[in-house]
Amino acid sequence: MTSMKTETISAAPTPNGQGKKLFIKTYGCQMNVYDSERMAEAMGSDGYTQVDSAEAADMVLINTCHIREKASEKLYSDLGRLRKLKKDKPDLKIGVAGCVAQAEGAEILRRAPQVDVVVGPQAYHRLPAMARAALAGHTQQLDTDFPAEDKFDNLPKARAARGPMAFLTVQEGCDKFCAFCVVPYTRGSEVSRPAARILDEARALVERGVRDITLLGQNVNAYHGAGHGAGHGAGAQGDLTLAGLIRALAKIDGLLRIRYTTSHPNDMGDDLIEAHGEVPQLMPYLHLPVQSGSDKILKAMNRKHTAEQYLRQIERIRAARPDILLSSDFIAGFPGETDSDHAATMDLIRQVRFGAAYSFKYSARPGTPAAEKAEVDNDVADARLQEMQALLSSQQYALQAAMVGREVGVLYEKAGRLDAQLVGKSDHLHAVHVIDPAGKIGELVRVKITASVTNSLKGQRIG
């Protein structure tokens, strides 16, 4: 892992960001969206306010994602545009964050001399200091160190909640080393936050009006944090499982809904499955990526489970919580995938019936074991992806349509486009539109679903 700094940040009085404007462009997963919000907060404490275009900004931060193809191409084309902008606005500061920064930091500085700051996901708490140094004239700073201190605790505690739903990071990194994936390299090994800190942060979010918290982690169901009152040290690992953490969170008054993402099938412990049946706040939605339905491909992916084992897990989860909506990730065209491997994936999809899904064409990520292998023909991979997506969308619409006539909880999130209309998420994470003149944002109401339209449901408030 890269671990170097090309600049030391001077201790002399340096200008802060008072009155300055920050634009963050975010690529990738929820983890990145969350990180961007926390960087915005950290920079906010240093005086920056957020704007929504590079043109209006004094500093532009690109939060990159490395997980699938074209990440660095996108970055360099963004940086090309920013170089032009910097010609007109010489004081513009440019920063690169995220997984591409982590993986290719030195290369970014070499190829893009206009960049002032490159900061990896483990060093975000040092971003304000780096921005100050940039204002003081230090360019080409690189910090992709893994933290000596506890990264989590150097970032603002709870972000300013902008609505009743929020993310809360409980775990970072991944030790699974799926053969296609860069996460274990860019995000490092698994670290769980101690429960006491998570509970404090959750309480603070609830005080700010949050009612629905999604616990985030690259491999969240492998969570093993130090329990309440146990070690508070940096990255302290303990024996509290995700199920234990969820049960502790469920005791917080005013926290009405708990979700978590993203999970590995091998970490669906019995206690977590039981929690799905027993904890009313734990919502009936589970994102459990399987990637492929072929045992040969699962083995080559280093997933360490078979299709049958995945299906058995799904059976157990459905036995605990019959109305759970399942979601998954799939990869089409992994090296060595034949027509019959693809058929096995289609078969698994038919057996499970997914309510939501994300499917991707395989893309070789440099440095991963799969990148050494011969690739499947591009047109073949495209065709398989399309076939898979057609089936997954038809399942998604069918399960959405099956909600018509049912009564669900809806947490109002924002005003809709129509008069007196509110939009919120159902227990199953469907978007639901309700005409409710008396309703308020942040309220959890009972709704009878009356119609299913393309990407959302309509309903009537019944309680």
Cα gap 355→394, rounded to integer Å: 9
CA angle, 274 then 259 then 263, to 5°: 75
Q: How many CB atoms lie within 10 A of CB 232?
A: 12
From the list 362, 426, 433, 452, which residue makes contact with ligand 5AD (rule: CB under 6 A)? 362
* Options 85-93, 156-164, 356-364, 435-443: segment touching ligand 5AD (CB under 6 A): 356-364
The residue behind tokens 């160190």 is: 145
Q: How far is the CB of 439 from ligand 5AD (least distance, A)?
A: 35
The Cα–Cα gap between 284 and 321 comes to 7
Which two structure tokens, joined as six digits, stand for 42?
A: 């950290």
Distance of alpha carbon 441 from alpha carbon 270, whole angstroms: 36
Cα separation of 28 and 33, whole Å?
A: 8
User: Is the CB of 261 or the CB of 281 nearer to ligand SF4?
Assistant: 261
| Least gap, CB of 399 to ligand 5AD (angstroms) | 20
Backbone φ and ψ for 298, nearest 5 degrees, come out as -60, -40
C-alpha of 461 from chain center: 31
Least Cβ distance, residue 291 to ligand SF4 (angstroms): 7
Parallel, antiparallel, or unpaired for β 93-98 and 59-64?
parallel
Between CA 133 and CA 137, with CA 134 as vertex, the angle to 5 degrees is 90
Q: Tell me whether residue 124 or residue 180 sits nearer to ligand SF4 (CB atom).
A: 180
Preceding peptide of 262 cis, ω within 30°:
yes
Minimum distance from residue 29 beta carbon to ligand 5AD (Å)? 6
CB atoms within 10 A of CB 336: 16
Number of residues that bind ligand 5AD (CB under 6 A): 12
> CB-wise, 196 or 297, nearer to ligand SF4?
297
Nearest CB to ligand 5AD, comparing residues 135 and 181: 181
Query: CB 219 → ligand SF4: shortest distance, Å?
Result: 5
Task: For the CB of residue 30, give the shortest distance to ligand 5AD in the complex, in Å.
Answer: 10
Coil/strand/helix, residue 64: strand
The answer to whether the CB of 9 falls within 8 A of the CB of 129 is: yes
The binding site for ligand SF4 (CB under 6 A) comprises 174, 176-178, 181, 183-184, 218-219, 264
Please choose which of ligand 5AD, ligand SF4, none residue 68 contacts, taking the beta carbon within 5 to 8 angstroms, the exact cut-off set by kind.
ligand 5AD
Of 142, 161, 331, 344, which lies in the binding site for ligand 5AD, with binding defined by CB under 6 A?
331
Q: Are 348 and 290 in contact (CB under 8 A)?
A: yes
Q: Determine which residue in the list 48, 124, 152, 180 makes contact with ligand 5AD, applying CB under 6 A.
A: 180
Smaller CB separation from ligand SF4, 192 or 426: 192
Quick one: which segment of 12-20, 85-93, 362-370, 391-399 binds ligand 5AD (CB under 6 A)?
A: 362-370
Neighbours of 86 (CB within 10 A): 19
Give the x/- contact pattern for ligand 5AD in 42-81, rule: CB under 6 A. -------------------------xx-------------
Which of 391/435 has CB closer to ligand 5AD? 391
User: At closest approach, how far in Å is the CB of 16 from ligand 5AD?
Assistant: 36
Strand spans (E) along 32-131: 49-50, 59-64, 93-98, 117-119
CB of 34 to ligand SF4, least distance (A): 15
> Any contact of residue 406 with ligand 5AD (CB under 6 A)?
no
Gap between the Cα atoms of 434 and 456, Å rounded: 11
Among 266, 313, 363, 450, binds ligand 5AD (CB under 6 A): 363
Residue 99 engages ligand 5AD in binding (rule: CB under 6 A): no
Q: Are 108 and 76 in contact (CB under 8 A)?
A: no
- C-alpha 373/C-alpha 357 separation (Å) is 26
Q: Which residue is nearest to ligand 5AD (CB)?
A: 329
Among the residue ranges 132-140, 227-235, 359-367, 427-435, the one whose residues contact ligand 5AD (CB under 6 A):
359-367
CA 402 to chain centre: 28
With 0-12 CB in 10 A as exposed, 13-18 as middle and 19+ as buried, what is 233? exposed
- When the beta carbons of 329 and 382 are compared against ligand 5AD, the nearer one is 329
Pick the closer one to ligand 5AD by CB: 20 or 66: 66
| Residues 36, 169: Cα–Cα separation, whole Å | 13
| Residue 157 burial (CB count, 10 A) | 12
Nearer to ligand 5AD, 235 or 289 (CB): 289
Query: Which CB sits closer to ligand SF4, 247 or 287?
Result: 287
**Binding partner selected for residue 362 from ligand 5AD, ligand SF4, none, CB under the kind-specific 5 to 8 Å limit:** ligand 5AD
Segment lying near ligand 5AD (by CB under 6 A), choices 266-274, 276-284, 355-363, 436-444: 355-363
C-alpha span between 292 and 298 (Å, rounded): 6
- Which residue from 274, 329, 375, 382 is in contact with ligand 5AD, where contact means CB under 6 A? 329
Under 8 Å between Cβ of 326 and 289 = no
Where do contacts with ligand 5AD occur on this chain (CB under 6 A)?
A: 67-68, 180-181, 289, 291, 329, 331, 360, 362-363, 365
